[in-house]
A and B are shown apart, each in its own frame.
Chain A
Amino acid sequence: MRKLTFDIAHLRKYVNGELSSKEMHEIERATHDDEMLTDILMGLEIEKNNQSTPLSLADISDQITERTQQRPRSRPLWNNNIFKIAASVVVLLTATGVLFWNTQKQETHSEELAVNDMPEGPIGPSHDRIAEISATPDSVGKLYSEPKYRQQDVHPEQNRKHENVSANLRSRNLTEQEKQILAYTPTEKNIEFSQDIAGTLNLGHPKHESDVIIINTEAQDKSNLIASSSKKQAQPRIADTRVSINPNATLSAAQMRAKLSNMGLEPQTNFISAQVLDQQSKKPLAGVEVTDIQNDRVALTDADGRFTYLANNKQSLKINAEGYTTREIATENGAQTILLSPKESFLEEISITKDSKSSKSTPLMGREKYMTYLRNEINKITEQRYAFTVQIALSKKGDPDTVTITKSSDESLNAKVIRIITRGPHWTTGSDWKKVTLEISSL
């Protein structure tokens, strides 16, 4: 089948009826096989019917140029987030500490009793404790002074996170409340911090997944600190505190359907809600691209590594994050957790290549693709068979700087071939970067 390409100006002539019958038929015939052409023609017809002025290409180009001269948006790094989150932990704990300090003074007496009722013997930094501590700021000092509680195998590595928090604080004078918070924070290991988009801060412990402390930044009332424990079934002593299960617990399929029906979507639509995590660290991966393989639609994960996607049928999604191996998942209804494993370090590979003395320069896109590219380009300038032998001197950066043609089947094409190569894709330089020999011939 003949492949035709038309430019917009030509198609506009068609719409305006300025073409010959033969040319018109040519376009009409092509629309039968080319959806894109059909759409463009319909767009042009709408323009004509609306009697609007044709699109000013210059305007659009200006806008694009303007956009390309902006500095690229930098991706947020996880490391930065740690500090941001750590800082907000401190601020929020301080704020809630103040609130409890002020509101719970009268109740302090009974709270202290509860702490004293705690069993003796090895006391671990468990969540039960956190519940107690947060409910009774007055008793914190006591707990802290118990040597067993402090000494419980504290690993420096595990505590690093908290040292960061405290280090920031020590650089200035601490308020009384901050001291209270610091009093217990370093003794509790493995607390995981996470913050979702709504601004709710979650503190969790890997061993007690259902135990979380939630601090809501959108303070609706003054007691925002929520402590819970499934082990002890601790009833909140403060009227405003509520016991909560992990808010990250996923919705049931029925709940999702209910959500879906609110959104006015067909019942057969699959609703996928998943979280993308690093396989090793189990940290959420933000900004990961989730592509629907069937229609190229893309969803991005949020700061929590979560994404939702509506699929019309049984499709699969491609999860693609820089530095991780790509995975494909089926679009099953409901929630799932997707673990991505990091790729072997790409940087290392490059350094190995550079170190070895006998390495060969290769086109960045790979040799095969490069040759296809060259042949495609040469086929545009000649219909004859051809064979060229060229020598390329690469720059240190891998630009094909200087190209010499040593053998040529058609000298009149030499200049064009040189142009194709010098304007072509970049190379990774090997030891032969000053003189790369390449043979190009028609298939």
Chain B
Amino acid sequence: MQKIATREAYGDALVELGRENPDVVVLDADLSKSTKTINFRKHFPERFFNLGIAEQNMLGTAAGLAAAGKIPFCSTFAVFAPGRSFDQLRNSIAYPKLNVKIGASHAGITVGEDGATHQSVEDIALVRAVPNLTVFVPADAVETKKAVMAAAEIKGPVYIRLGRAAVPVLHGEDFVFEPGKAVVMREGGDAAIIATGVMVAEALAAAEELSREGISVRVLNIHTIKPLDTEAIISAAKETGAIVTAEEHSVIGGLGSAVAETVCEHCPVPVYRVGIPDVFGESGKPGELMEKYGLKARHLAAAVRKAIRR
């Protein structure tokens, strides 16, 4: 299976978007080679602004550009936006509902060797709590590209969570990305794995493993954390009776929390959250970290077996 990092797809999508829409401008904070906004800079240097290592000012500048009719895409690592610039995101962008898009790369522990300071494990929890924000967590390159295009069409702030490491391409080019609409990646009736981002591929592998044991697992891909497709989650709870959530993020405040909130209110069934336990990450290879923090397909499969037994 072909593997592409979602940040790579983001960089390519920005170029395509730049060709289509002259109002699109791109901002970066000295990480354009890593976030891949460098591609946009090469094609449209006059519409690219490097703000230096100053993320707060980058988001504030984007707010002003948006207020003057531009569609700014800002990029840095997720630890720095929303991490370092949360107040600017909240007050300068989300409160006035300005048309700013944040492409936050290097999210989660698959950043790898840089270690805990650069591994954002709480960004979804932060952005999910902010009113007016749309939150996308694409699972693969195709989804990323379509999420970028969709973000440009949305009138308001959008957060797009991107990863550093190459991940399997799960969709064909004909995939239709509908904001706020979960995607059933695989049907199943015994349990559901509700996954987001890079964990969708792991969820599919877990479902495959479980099918060999005669357990039929639905895999639901939540590419939009907000607004959340509560209907699809409630259906999964009703129709399977056992849920496991999967995210490359803390188990506090992210997808697992969102799903648990929804299921508790509408259709209580067992929900097990697979994610990074309440700890910071560390240096290591992405695969080693996924193994150590329990984010591999086999960990998901074990959680499903536990959920079904209850």
Mutual binders A and B: no
